[in-house]
């Protein structure tokens, strides 16, 4: 195809059967709104302009889709009342003023069409033979769909909607997928000629097919039924999501990522994973995650907006959110990294350690049972089991700052704001409320006392009480 390409993506429908306060095209599949998938395909096909036609909850749809395509000049056209698919495409005309070439029409609620199939459609489109190419598919149960009408020589003559079809036409198994490539000049002219003289009183986009058949040959490619299926309710949303999930998993495996159990692995659409990384069963990687090479994500872990460096190991059942895990770190099992956590290279965060707004510098270890919040912890520190940064005084949050090579004994409370200098030692069981200078030992527990023979005396007292 030598012509330039624009895409119109129909997203105005209400989606009544979703039974939702949220517009249908914003329901998520693997971390992206439903309409993100067809729009992404349009960009992958090289469309110079992409216009989303919005109507129902127009502002929410615009905001969400704009956010979904940073750096792209995604355009919007508003179809205030939904008077049919033909009316919806007409709404995009203003946004495409000055454009001349091929217009690809996609539906915002049809997420499975592959770029390969759309390329076949574009390849079949030949404006020297006819102004329109379309996708059809064969369904065992074509109920509800528009049927493809073919005449002499198997030539396409038009589409009849299910509600307008005769009993005989309803037997046709070849249905209209609703996806077309149309010459822009022909399109705008054909749309002007639409009338709502049909069973639904709508302006049917499908009526441009018979107009195209009158001026040329309508090119048709057949697509697998799986790809053309739309989303009408939440059960269908889940079915389509399942296929997208499997496609995403396959793409990562083909790129050198090992998925131990793909059937239970959930990787969102925007996630990047380096080669030789292994993802265990029941792992969920959500949002904007970037996982390096040679990393391991253990069974049952949930990673949200998290960066994992090369060679890092996240052991089973760890939960992370807005966290950065540096190269060759060891995290978990059962670690909880909350927003603002940054683990520099080679940090070890073990079981039942919770971090929040905390930077653990190179090589620091917090092996077990700790809460580190609003903390800047120097390189090479050792954080004993049971260490707690007391960061909240009931009104505001305060910071704990540790220098390099600090040793915090087990069961220590660091009452913020507090600073511990380089190489300082804190004795186990201390409650630290004052800054500790570099190289010092600070210990705050009560001195230990020993009472010789106390246990025997107690036993006798208790025995005497019993005899009374
Ligand atoms: C349409 C086709 C039908 C085809 C089927 C495939 C028409 C008249 N019929 O029927 O031949 O078999 O798709 O799925 O085109 N939309 C708007 N504004 C409107 C109406 C619809 O934006 O005024 C959007 C919807 O949100 C949806 C898409 O267009 O994304 C398709 O609309 P829908 O009502 O589902 O069309 P069908 O009746 O299924
Ligand atoms: Ca539909």
Are 147 and 175 in contact by the 8 Å Cβ rule? The answer is yes
Choosing from 56, 154, 330, 368, the catalytic residue is: 368
**Is residue 182 pLDDT above 90, yes or no?**
yes
Alpha carbon distance 441, 409 (integer Å): 11
For 16, the token pair is 């009544």
How much is the pTM? 0.94
Ligand 1 residue neighbourhood (C-beta within 6 Å) = 10, 12-13, 53, 79, 82-85, 87-88, 107-109, 145-146, 159, 161, 175-178, 204-206, 230
Alpha carbon distance 438, 140 (integer Å): 78
Count how many Cα atoms sit within 13 Å of the Cα of residue 95 in the half-sphere of its side chain. 24
What separation, in Å, do the N-terminal and C-terminal C-alpha atoms of the chain show? Answer: 106
Classify strands 32-33 and 272-273 as parallel, antiparallel or unpaired.
Answer: unpaired
Q: Specify the residue with its C-alpha closest to ligand 1, atom 2.
A: 178
Alpha carbon distance 279, 267 (integer Å): 10
Alpha carbon distance 366, 410 (integer Å): 10
Known catalytic residue at 368: yes
3-state SS, residue 175: strand
Residue 102's alpha-carbon distances to 1, 76, 96, 132, 162, in angstroms, are 9, 18, 11, 9, 28
Q: pLDDT value at position 213?
A: 98
Q: pLDDT value at position 466?
A: 82
Q: What is the CATH number of domain 234-395?
A: 2.160.10.10
Q: What is the rounded average pLDDT of the residues 160-182?
A: 97
Residue 128 burial by Cβ neighbours in a 10 Å radius (0-12, 13-18, 19+):
exposed
Residue 463's alpha-carbon distances to 161, 263, 366, in angstroms, are 95, 65, 47
**Is residue 78 pLDDT above 90, yes or no?**
yes
For 148, the token pair is 């493809």
Taking the CA of residue 24 as reference, the ligand 1 atom at the shortest distance is 26
For 134, the token pair is 């379309």
Instruction: Tell me the pLDDT tens digit for each residue of 313-346.
Output: 999 999 999 999 999 999 999 999 999 999 999 9
Q: pLDDT value at position 211?
A: 98
- Residue extents of the structural domains in the chain: 5-228, 234-395
Are 401 and 376 in contact by the 8 Å Cβ rule? The answer is yes
Identify the nearest ligand to the CA of 15 by its number. 1
Q: From the options 3.30.930.10, 3.40.50.970, 3.30.300.130, 3.90.550.10, give the CATH code of 5-228.
A: 3.90.550.10
The CA dihedral of 436, 440, 445, 447, to the nearest 10 degrees, is: -150
Q: pLDDT value at position 468?
A: 67
């Amino acid at each position: 195809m030598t012509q330039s390409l624009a895409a119109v993506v129909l997203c105005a429908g209400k989606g009544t059967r979703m039974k939702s306060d949220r517009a249908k095209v914003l329901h998520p599949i693997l971390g992206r709104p439903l309409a993100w998938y067809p729009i992404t395909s349009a960009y992958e096909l090289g469309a110079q302009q992409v216009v989303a036609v919005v109507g129902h909850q127009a502002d929410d749809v615009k905001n969400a889709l704009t956010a979904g395509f940073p750096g792209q000049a995604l355009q919007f056209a508003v179809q205030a009342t939904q008077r049919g698919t033909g009316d919806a495409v007409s709404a995009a005309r203003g946004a495409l003023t000055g454009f001349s070439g091929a217009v690809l029409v996609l539906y915002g609620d049809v997420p499975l069409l592959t770029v390969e199939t759309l390329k076949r459609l574009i390849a079949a489109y030949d404006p020297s033979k006819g102004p329109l190419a379309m996708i059809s598919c064969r369904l065992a149960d074509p109920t509800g769909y528009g049927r493809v009408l073919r005449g002499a020589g198997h030539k396409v003559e038009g589409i009849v909607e299910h509600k307008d079809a005769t009993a005989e036409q309803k037997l046709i198994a070849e249905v209209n997928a609703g996806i077309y490539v149309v010459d822009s000049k022909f399109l705008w002219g054909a749309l002007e000629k639409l009338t709502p003289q049909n069973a639904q009183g709508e302006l049917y986009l499908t009526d441009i097919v018979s107009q195209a058949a009158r001026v040329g040959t309508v090119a048709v490619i057949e697509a697998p039924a799986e790809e053309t299926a739309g989303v009408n309710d939440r059960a269908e949303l889940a079915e389509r999501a399942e296929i997208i999930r499997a496609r995403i998993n396959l793409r990562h495996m083909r790129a050198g990522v090992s998925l131990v159990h793909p059937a239970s692995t959930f990787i969102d659409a925007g996630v990047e994973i380096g080669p030789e990384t292994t993802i265990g069963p029941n792992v969920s990687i959500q949002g904007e995650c970037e996982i390096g090479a040679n990393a391991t994500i253990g069974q049952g872990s949930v990673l949200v907006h998290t960066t994992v460096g090369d060679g890092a190991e996240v052991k089973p059942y760890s939960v992370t959110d807005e966290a950065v895990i540096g190269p060759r770190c060891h995290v978990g099992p059962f670690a909880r990294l909350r927003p603002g956590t940054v683990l520099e290279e080679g940090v070890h965060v073990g079981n039942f350690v919770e971090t929040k707004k905390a930077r653990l510098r190179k090589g620091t270890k917090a092996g077990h049972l700790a809460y580190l919040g609003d903390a800047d912890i120097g390189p090479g520190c050792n954080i004993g089991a049971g260490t707690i940064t007391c960061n909240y005084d009931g009104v505001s949050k305060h910071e704990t700052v540790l220098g390099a090579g600090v040793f915090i004994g087990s069961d220590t409370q660091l009452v913020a704001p507090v600073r511990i200098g380089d190489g300082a030692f804190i004795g186990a069981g201390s409650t630290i409320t004052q800054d500790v200078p570099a190289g010092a030992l600070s210990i705050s527990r009560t001195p230990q006392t020993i009472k010789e023979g106390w246990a025997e005396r107690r036993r006798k007292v208790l025995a005497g009480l019993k005899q009374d």
